Amino acid sequence: MKLLIVESPSKAKTIEKYLGKDYRVVASVGHIRDLPKNNKKAIDIPGGFIPHYEVVKGKEDVIANIKALAKKADEIFLATDPDREGEAIAWHIAQAVGLKNPKRIVFHEITKEAVIEAVAHPREIDMHLKEAQEARRVLDRLVGYDLSGIIWKKVRYGLSAGRVQSPALRILVEREREIRAFKPETFWKILAHLEDKKKNDLAFECSVEPRDKKEVDTILKEGEAGTWKVTDVKETEVKRAPRPPFITSTLQQAASSRLGFAPARTMMIAQRLYEAGHITYMRTDSTNLSVQAKKEIEAIITSKFGANYFEPHSFAKKSKNAQEAHEAIRPTHMDKESAGINDEQKRLYQLIRSRTLATQMKDAVVMRTKIVANIDGEKIPDFHLNGSRILFDGWTKADPAAQGEDVILPVLTKSDPLKLLNINAEEKQTEPPARYSEAGLIKELEKRGIGRPSTYASIIKTVVDRGYVEKIQKALKPTDTGEVVSGFLEDNFNEYISDSFTAEMEDELDDIATGTRTYKKTLTDFYGPFEKDVKDKGSLAKATDLGAAPDKFKCPVCGSSMIVKLGRGGRFLSCSRFPDCVGALTIDGEEIKADEPIGIDPVSGLQVYVKTGRFGPFVQLGEEAKGKGKLKEKAKKASIPKDKKLDELTLEDALVYLSLPRVLGKHPDTGETITANIGRFGPYIVHQTDFRSLKTDNPYTITFERALEILKEPKKTRGFKKKAEK
């Protein structure tokens, strides 16, 4: 019996079918060992950055099973993924199971031919690749652990930082600052509707966008008085070359813009397609296509579109260190037009197949037309009208979504007269730069050399999961916490989150993979200066504690005394016992001091406070009554909406928030009250046990009559109840 070890159970089933009864294929289900969570035990820094690995919880049975099968096996093949991570997993399996001289095989597509070819040509575990992965893992742990410790002291307990995530966060924060600093300018867009001899209404646009209203008035006046004609017609033939086949980053970008898939989701779907044998390995930055794949592509293009559409292309590598997977992402069998077990998989497969076919097709040819018009004497700027038409669709035949639509213009010649129908100006304002989308951030990270193909999706997921970034529609917006963390790192550790440093470190890790740098020297050169900076900044962080706050400042969550700290926005209060109780009750910034009322409720006569708790800022009516347990009477509190700026909060706002729950009236049938409130899942009204979510109505303003209308509507049954009934 021959034993072959892979990472994924679904991959194991596919490969076992190809190899037959003489082989047993088992899965490690990803990593079986990792660094322990306790950093002091994880890495022996004085000994040369030696990592101490532990078996991943729950993987004991996996290791025991592999050991038992290995004892019975005549040959053992390690067939984990063809990248650094896969090489490291292969090494860990060999170490944990105690394998002697296992055979390492790699394949970039799960097809019968590829698997059999790989088994026929085994090699040893590549220790350079393993050390490159290990260096990245150790480096990320050291940087993350040390920076996070400083942030806990300086900013807030529980926050964290990462070697690659922090530069990505900085990019998003820098864009947000550009947006805030942006000052809009007024300009005018001028359109002239002109009619040709055939009565076509043509909308010509002014070639300049004036900032001065006087200039606008002059153009309008001259345009209305002048005699219009065609002053020039330009036709330019333009070729559009096909784009390279997909690599990891471009697949994520295209799937985001075309299919609406988040990068992490794209990688999950691609993983399923790969494991099922439909596409080649999806973590790659190589744009190469194999000779055999090109032959298949040529045959399909010739038979489906015609020989005049085929043209071979080779594409330069996207980066100077194209990683271990030697091919671009492509279908394993090009003749298969559809693949996948669900709609998402089929759509992503179709996207990959279309791009792959297009790479070996002729350029598309487009005729671009520009018609220029002006008045006699040309006393005003030119007005132009643009159009285009496809002369030869070329590669867009395989990828219609990239084709675009023809904009056909009427045939006009120079000096043709034009009749003015109307000319008008629309006032507009310049727009700030747009926030990055997920696809846009990946493109920017790739351009700056930050991260590698396998890390882009996890970088975005990490900054979102940590609460540093939020998704607003398709845009990535830094949160207040994200901006504070990034600002602190920029002020104190800017060198380590700069583009140049991060990209150079990625290159050094690549050099370890090729054997031109050593593991120990790379980490030693980095960690010596870094550790010194961390210690220096750590002392500084402790020095920013300015001492105990006045007695009246108590933590609104646990009641402990507060201490005053110094942050980017000035002094702020922090709980002396649990730093994560209060994030940043600012003293100098927004001038909202703890336990200082913002006004008095005219109805109850109680003072109204703004406080910050574990779940964010809130308003409170009156003081917390003294007492213990159930005898303690709690003051009325209400959350402040996330989009409300604290420095704009008024007493009137606070009283509105404190008005919930609102009793709207008594139901005419039952005599029981109807109440409006905001709960865990959003705003709602309730009558007895009948809860109704408010989709468009506001709980602060909804009327009794409107509530009755909502309660009369049939209540929607949840999907799982319908299934149960069936």
Which helix or strand (DSSP H or E) is residue 372 part of? strand 364-375
CB environment 573-607: b (16+ within 10 A), e (fewer): bbbbeebebbbbbbbebbebbbbebbeebeeeebb
DSSP 593-630: -TT--SEE-TTT--EEEEEEETTEEEEEESPPPP--GG
Q: Please give the C-alpha separations between residue 404 and each of 145, 335, 387, 438, in angstroms, as whole numbers.
A: 50, 26, 12, 24
Q: Which of 18, 53, 157, 281 is catalytic?
A: 281
Report the DSSP beta bridge partners of residue 676: 662, 685
Q: Please give the C-alpha separations between residue 19 and each of 78, 117, 162, 258, in angstroms, as whole numbers.
A: 14, 11, 43, 38
3-state secondary structure of 88: helix
Judge contact between 407 and 371, C-beta under 8 A.
Answer: no
3-state secondary structure of 200: coil
In angstroms, what is the C-alpha Rg of the chain? 33
Q: What residues contact residue 418 under an 8 Å CB cut-off, 6+ apart?
A: 194, 195, 196, 202, 228, 229, 230, 373
Based on the number of CB atoms within 10 Å of its own CB, is 371 exposed (0-12), middle (13-18) or buried (19 or more)? buried
Name which of 190, 714, 209, 140 is nearest 431 in CA terms.
209
The Cα–Cα gap between 612 and 616 comes to 5
Quick check: bond before 417 cis, omega within 30?
no
Name the pairing type of β-strands 75-78 and 2-6. parallel
Structure tokens at 321: 């260190």
Q: Please give the C-alpha separations between residue 559 and each of 157, 273, 556, 582, in angstroms, as whole numbers.
A: 17, 54, 6, 11
Residue tagged 């890790």 (tokens): 509
Please give the distance of CA 31 from its chain centroid, rounded to a whole number. 25
Structure tokens at 58: 């729950």
Structure tokens at 393: 């669709």
Q: What residues contact residue 95 under an 8 Å CB cut-off, 6+ apart?
A: 33, 53
Task: Determine whether 609 is an active site residue.
Answer: no
CA torsion 412-415-416-419 (nearest 10°) is 120
Q: What are phi and psi of 618, to 5 degrees?
A: -150, 165
8 backbone φψ class: left, alpha, beta (φ>0; ψ -120 to 50): beta
Based on the number of CB atoms within 10 Å of its own CB, is 61 exposed (0-12), middle (13-18) or buried (19 or more)? exposed
The Cα–Cα gap between 492 and 149 comes to 13
DSSP 8-state class, residue 405: -
Catalytic positions, please? Answer: 281
